[in-house]
Structure formats: structure tokens, C-alpha cells
């Protein structure tokens, strides 16, 4: 009886140990940064590692066929008054940095404040780091 009980306890310990082991998460599948993979609407979720304040939004829609973008945001001095901007963007490859996105606004508003290095692109997220200012980092989540 003692022998059967010890085998039963050993089997129970093995089952419990195997159930408590967790599988390693699947590695993140990064996508190639190109116009097809970044096309769509994106929401800024963090700026320099800080989540946006409640009620604050910045959405960018990138269209690959005509290289245009539209931005809808309320991050200005008066957040209750949102604004919309449109323009054109371009992707370029830099041997040192990788894929760079740059843009120019319509209606004489000029160029974006920075060109951005796009990294960590997945189907649902991407990171933009300002070229020349690595402390300025934007993280986006796909809206559609």
C-alpha cells in the first residue's frame, strides 16, 4: 500500500509540475517597413514612454497609393478643439538607420518637425524615433 501511495504522490507531483510550467511566448514577428505594411490608420499611444492623457488623441492615416497622410489630433494648447492636417509622405532607406518616413504638410505648413526612423513594425503596432533626436519616440497602435 505504501508503495502504491508513493507512486501516486509522485505521479501527482509530476502532473502538477508540468501544469505549472508556462510556454515561452512566441517571438514577435516584425514586418518589413514598406508602404503596404504601414498603410492604414494609427493611433499614438505613447510619447517618449508616457501614455497620452485621457481624452488626448493623435491619429494618422497613411495611404500608400498616392503617398498621402491625414492627421486628426487635439494635442495643441486647446485640446477641446481638434485639428486636421493633410499632406504627403515618403519612405527612404538609410544605410545607418533603416527606413525613414518624412512628410510635408499641405497649405504651406512646411515639413514635419522631424524625419522618423520606423522600427518594431508588427501588424498592430510600430515605433517612430526622431532622426537626430533619439529621445523623441512615438508608439502607435493600428486602428484598422
CATH code of 94's domain:
2.40.128.280
Q: Within a domain: residue 39?
A: yes
For residue 62, the SS3 value is strand
Q: Within a domain: residue 6?
A: no
Q: Within a domain: residue 29?
A: no
Judge residue 117's burial from the number of C-beta atoms within 10 Å of its C-beta, 0-12 exposed, 13-18 middle, 19 or more buried. Answer: buried
Q: Within a domain: residue 99?
A: yes
Q: Within a domain: residue 11?
A: no
User: For residue 26, what pLDDT is reported?
Assistant: 79
Q: Within a domain: residue 135?
A: yes
Q: Within a domain: residue 25?
A: no
Question: Which residue pairs, CB below 8 angstroms and at least 24 apart, start in 122-128?
Answer: 122/28, 122/29, 122/30, 122/31, 123/29, 123/31, 126/33, 126/38, 126/42, 128/101
User: For residue 105, what pLDDT is reported?
Assistant: 96
Q: Within a domain: residue 95?
A: yes
Instruction: Name the maximum alpha-carbon separation found in the chain.
Output: 89
User: For residue 109, what pLDDT is reported?
Assistant: 75
In which domain, by residue range, is 90 found? 35-142
In the chain, the number of structural domains is 1
Q: Where do runs of H (alpha helix) occur along the chain? A: 2-20, 35-38
pLDDT, one tens digit per residue, over 10-59 is: 555 555 555 555 567 778 899 999 999 999 999 999 999 999 988 899 99
Amino acid at each position: 500500500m505504501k508503495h502504491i501511495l508513493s507512486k501516486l504522490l509522485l505521479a501527482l507531483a509530476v502532473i502538477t509540475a508540468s501544469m505549472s510550467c508556462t510556454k515561452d511566448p512566441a517571438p514577435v514577428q516584425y514586418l518589413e517597413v514598406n508602404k503596404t505594411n504601414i498603410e492604414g490608420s494609427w493611433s499614438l499611444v505613447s510619447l517618449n514612454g508616457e501614455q497620452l492623457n485621457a481624452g488626448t488623441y493623435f491619429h494618422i492615416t497613411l495611404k500608400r497609393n498616392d503617398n498621402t497622410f491625414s492627421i486628426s489630433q487635439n494635442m495643441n494648447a486647446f485640446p477641446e478643439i481638434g485639428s486636421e492636417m493633410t499632406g504627403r509622405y515618403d519612405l527612404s532607406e538609410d544605410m545607418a538607420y533603416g527606413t525613414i518616413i518624412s512628410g510635408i504638410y499641405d497649405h504651406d505648413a512646411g515639413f514635419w518637425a522631424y524625419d522618423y526612423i520606423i522600427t518594431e513594425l508588427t501588424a498592430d503596432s510600430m515605433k517612430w524615433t526622431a532622426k537626430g533626436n533619439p529621445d523623441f519616440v512615438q508608439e502607435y497602435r493600428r486602428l484598422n
